[in-house]
Chains A and B, each alone.
Chain A
Amino acid sequence: MSLIAVTVIGHDRPGIIAEATSALAELGINLEDSTMTRLRGHFAMMLLCEGDTTVSQVERALGDLAADGTLQVSAREVDRDEPGTSSGRPYVLTVHGGDRLGIVSAVTSVLARAGGNITDLTTRLTNDLYMVVAEVDLPVDADESVLAAELTAIGRQLGIDVALRAQETDVL
């Protein structure tokens, strides 16, 4: 059994997911985790699938999808990482302000120095407004107030609003 990562990127149109997943189903491959979104109208999908198959078989099966040149498809084998036992505490970082170079790198560098691991990230640009939302696991011993102060200082430097707060999870 091999675990294969597939990415599909390109011009969006109806039916991409249906075509990709039926091609994989015909090969007898199981879908595991996947994510798909549209970035400024571009289709972007990543998925992990597992089956008794090779990378080239997967690429051939998805060949039709890429045939008209509007989509790029790639597949590669990946290691099966055991899901990390995250001991971190989950936080949400929000940033908004005028569009300018280096916002994401400035704030994520602060998080990285504190040992924070970003688990999910979305950025959006609409007219003049740039928006970043990052979900980040902070080490248990990270000092939240020191980090928040450092982020506020960076925000002031760049003229952007930065907020860090604990992510609330409700278990129902």
Chain B
Amino acid sequence: MSLHDWSVHDLGTEGQVREVLRAPDAVLSTPSEKVDPGDASVVQLAADLVATMRVSPGCVGLAANQVGLAWHVFCVDVTEHPKARTTHGTFVLCNARVVEASRKEKGREGCMSVPELTGDVKRATRLTVTGQLPPSGDEIVVETDAFEARAVQHEIDHCDGFLFLDRVAGAHAVYARKTYL
């Protein structure tokens, strides 16, 4: 199976919007446990992550520990983001890991769990990851680039207990988030 054949409807359950936790909540620094992608609670979590991402303005990805569960699950959707090249629409991956990463570039990142800061982080712009789709558990390989690659690395970092703050490029690479009214 490939990501193009997957849709959020495959989850077969309605997602509930969950509260997004903020640093310094300890769960955000906790490495996530591997999950069974077919488990009903994991499937529900996948739907909840998508639902929460969709109601959050500007949110292009969300990891399970951001809603309080240290499980290795995240969702991403960078569709229509101006910095995206390759896009795979909305998707959820369980137990994902990076198998190949190259061509690092610096870019500005924000995070719903760190609402008042942004930071410059170097990430690979060519990326290959493997992971499992809920609810089938099918193992897939995702190749992507540019902004989707950045988003996927940011979310895998969450699953491993890291925030973008752990990766900022230097003392002048952290910024107060500007809010334009």
Contacts and interface: CB of A to CB of B under 8 A. Distances in A.
Nearest to A100: B24
Contacts of A10: none
A63 interface: no
Given A94-B165, A94-B166, A120 B172 contact: yes
Chain B binding surface, main DSSP class: mixed
Given A126-B116, A128-B24, A121 B171 contact: yes
Interface string B106-118: 0000000010110
B170 interface: yes
Given A127-B116, A168-B122, A96 B170 contact: no
Interface residues of B, number: 23
A131 interface: yes
Contact of B171 (A98, A126, A135): A135
A134 interface: yes
A163 B162 CA distance: 10
A54 B24 CA distance: 49
Interface residues of A, number: 24
B165 A131 contact: yes
A85 interface: no
B168 interface: yes
A161 B166 CA distance: 8
B172 A124 contact: no
B1 interface: no
Interface string A111-148: 00000000011101011111101110000000000000
B145 to A, nearest CB: 19
Contacts of B171: 92, 120-122, 133-135
B114 A129 contact: yes
Contact of B172 (A97, A122, A128, A160): A122
A131 B117 contact: yes
A133 B163 contact: no
A42 B172 CA distance: 18
Nearest to B106: A170
Given A120-B170, A133-B170, A135-B170, A96 B116 contact: no
A122 B174 contact: yes
B173 A133 contact: yes
Given A92-B171, A96-B165, A130-B24, 9 more contacts: A94-B165, A96-B24, A120-B171, A122-B174, A133-B168, A133-B174, A160-B24, A163-B162, A163-B166
Interface of A: 92, 94, 96-98, 120-122, 124, 126-131, 133-135, 159-161, 163, 167-168
